[in-house]
Structure 1
Amino acid sequence: MGRRKSTLKDFENRFIIGDCEEVMKTMPEKSIDLVLTSPPYADQRDYGRTESSIDPNDYVKWFIPKAKQIYKLLKDDGSFVLNINDKVVDGFQHLYVFELVVALCNQVGFHLVRDYIWYNPATPPNVYSRGGYGRTKKSHEYCFWFAKSDKWTFDMDPIRKPYSKDMQKYLEGKGKGDRNQNTRPSTHNFNCEKVWTNNGGADPGSVIEIANTSSNDMFIKLCKEKHIAHPARFPEKLAEFFILSGSMEGEIVLDPFSGSGTTAAVASKNNRRWIGIDANSEYCELASARLEQEEEERQAADKEGEIANDQSDK
């Protein structure tokens, strides 16, 4: 008898230990709604395995085979969001990030939907902060949103930000003057004679400001308990921005470099199915413990809420 072909249920809501390229080859094609991941940064960090440090000059060659598997796994209306950062090499900012974006479009077939900037206002001072290297510290990373076709899931409502006080005036029809009296230095202008539609919040734009400051949360405590160090993880609010806008409840989110499990944790919390892949077994162990503990905490909170509601009804 031949070997049974893998189905999505074999991977769903699990952390898979292994090389993501090889694992993805065993997964059913066109089965994933959203891929959100932050792969190892070039030549910068120790991810617990020797092959995780990639020379910037080799980064595109290293990543493209993995990107081709991501492309195969995505549904035709699926999206791929890549969080990545660059580095200074021989005195200048290396171009591998931008070379990768071009290669993902020209060699793999992705379409670039939007380039986002994740600005971390809590970036600490570093060697560049002294001013002797001709540049400021780097306080942002890139998040590139790619689509597989000319259609992709996007929901603005969950990521809208509160309106400014000035915009609130326009929503209430209280703006003063006509369009010519409300021209900005950028030449943008507002028609203040109309009542603007209230959409429940403003378009957040392409700069995402989230401080990466968690230092004593549950995951850090797990790292200390298990004596396992994880070098980098993006904040949950960053994952939430893309998961809420790029997928719907019940859909499936894949992180092929799952690391600390942030993508999976946020997907689970927001009623998405998820798959995490990482070559480091200790990271998968940590991520699994994290999700188990977070689920226990959610269930306990739900139970407390039910008790409080019962008492208020009496």
Structure 2
Amino acid sequence: MEEKKRAANNRTLTLKPEEIDRLRGRLLTAENLTAETDILNRTLNGDILEMLKFVPDGFADLIIIDPPYNLTKNFNGLKFNSRSENRYDDYLESWFPEVCKKLKSGGSLYICGDWKCTASLQRAVEKELTVLNRITWQREKGRGAKSNWKNGMEDIWFAVKNPDDYFFNVDAVMMKRRVLAPYKIDGKPKDWDEGEDGNFRLTCPSNFWDDISIPFWSMPENTDHPTQKSEKLYAKLILASSKEGDVVFDPFLGSGTSSVVAKKLNRRFCGIELNEEYCLWAEKRLELAETDKSIQGYGDGVFWERNTLAFQGRERQTGKNRETEKRESLKMK
């Protein structure tokens, strides 16, 4: 676990040497797991198929999965290699049916992917569950491409075990958007609010999300995980498809976003992750969530557009956004 040299304003989560043993002691592994072990609100460190043996069938109200996409990627020394579509289908078949057994009869499942693997994901999900929708979200972080279109989108497949009995709370995931061309009737706003911070409208969310920011160095939720999802992204899934006290399960936990957001939103959680260092990051983030429940981009019970001035004053009490910090630093010079 080598310590990188970082810029002074870099807020990426790191581990101090004295934290490692303490956080490691919180992990559940094959050596300290039994059939009687309480796995709620815990991180399971090990291979997915081995760890799934300790997860009861019908365990989770909501499952969120962010598996390796069909790309060659180095996950902290554990390399996943791109393969043919048929072989990627086989890879999904090796664990996805077992994960679905852990879903309650009225539960929901979300699985993430990109354009290259999304067809495989759809085939895998449709064998086990009923697909209700495909969410596409805009991700601006990424390299440009000279001989192809830059990949700026990713998918999340939404599926349920029983299409006649599942939970979905649209009121919990309303979007607050700026009104650029306000329409009035008799001098009064029509379906929008006029306030000191500007003009805004509450709207129902669609299956295209353009308000997600990928975690990067200036955000305290950021880690060195190469494919980390943002807390705001997962907050939408958790608020829409679970109730307080429900169990959120993530079999590819990574740096812990699903568990952290579940904790912040008063859900129970459990995650499986093969890489120990990622598990330690997750545990540190869970510790921080005990005193900081904020989720960037979510406040006052609604999701706000990116770079919305009205929200900037309500953001984290523990840190201000980059533009505010820049303005204040200029005043001090």
Q: Normalising to structure 1: TM-score of the pair?
A: 0.71
Measured after TM superposition, the shift of residue 214 of structure 1 is 2.6
1:137 matched to 2:150: yes
Q: Name the CA distance, whole Å, in 1 between partners of 2:215 and 2:270.
A: 26
Contact 2:89–2:124, Cα closer than 8 Å, also in 1: yes
- C-alpha change, 1:137 and 1:169, in structure 2 (3 Å) is same
Greater share of strand: 2
1:103 matched to 2:98: no
User: SS of the counterpart of 2:175?
Assistant: coil
Question: Quick check: which has more Rg, 1 or 2?
Answer: 1
Q: Name the CA distance, whole Å, in 2 between partners of 1:215 and 1:164.
A: 27
- C-alpha change, 1:168 and 1:284, in structure 2 (3 Å) is farther
Contact 1:42–1:86, Cα closer than 8 Å, also in 2: no
* Counterpart position of 2:331: none
User: SS of the counterpart of 1:201?
Assistant: strand
Equivalent residue letter for 2:162? S
* Counterpart position of 2:204: 203
Q: Give deviations 1:101-123, integer Å, cap 9, x for gaps.
A: 123213xx211111000112x33
Q: Give deviations 1:10-40, integer Å, cap 9, x for gaps.
A: 2111111111122112211111000112111
- C-alpha change, 1:49 and 1:61, in structure 2 (3 Å) is farther
Q: Name the CA distance, whole Å, in 2 between partners of 1:146 and 1:85.
A: 17
Equivalent residue letter for 2:96? A
Equivalent residue letter for 1:36? I
Measured after TM superposition, the shift of residue 297 of structure 1 is 4.1
* Counterpart position of 2:245: 250
Q: Name the CA distance, whole Å, in 1 between partners of 2:38 and 2:242.
A: 21
Measured after TM superposition, the shift of residue 293 of structure 1 is 2.3
1:268 matched to 2:263: yes
**Long gaps (5+) in structure 1:** 88-95, 176-199, 224-228, 305-314
Q: Give deviations 1:66-111, integer Å, cap 9, x for gaps.
A: 2111211100011110111244xxxxxxxx42033123213xx211
Contact 2:129–2:161, Cα closer than 8 Å, also in 1: yes
Root-mean-square deviation over aligned CA pairs: 2.8
Contact 1:40–1:53, Cα closer than 8 Å, also in 2: no
Q: Give deviations 1:224-259, integer Å, cap 9, x for gaps.
A: xxxxx4212011110001000010000000111101
Aligned 1:129-208 pairs, distance under 5 A: 130=146, 133=147, 135-150=148-163, 151-162=165-176, 165=179, 169=184, 201-208=202-209
Identify which range, 158-167 or 41-50, moves more after superposition.
Answer: 158-167
- 1:123 corresponds to which of 118, 121, 141: 141
* Counterpart position of 2:220: 218
Identify which range, 17-26 or 282-291, moves more after superposition.
Answer: 17-26
Equivalent residue letter for 2:248? V
**Long gaps (5+) in structure 2:** 1-32, 191-200, 295-316, 318-333
Measured after TM superposition, the shift of residue 52 of structure 1 is 3.1
Contact 1:40–1:47, Cα closer than 8 Å, also in 2: no
* Counterpart position of 1:18: 46
Contact 2:73–2:79, Cα closer than 8 Å, also in 1: no
Measured after TM superposition, the shift of residue 212 of structure 1 is 1.3
* Counterpart position of 1:34: 62
Percent identity reads 27
Equivalent residue letter for 2:204? D
Q: Name the CA distance, whole Å, in 1 between partners of 2:52 and 2:183.
A: 48
Q: Give deviations 1:153-178, integer Å, cap 9, x for gaps.
A: 110011111366479758x9987xxx
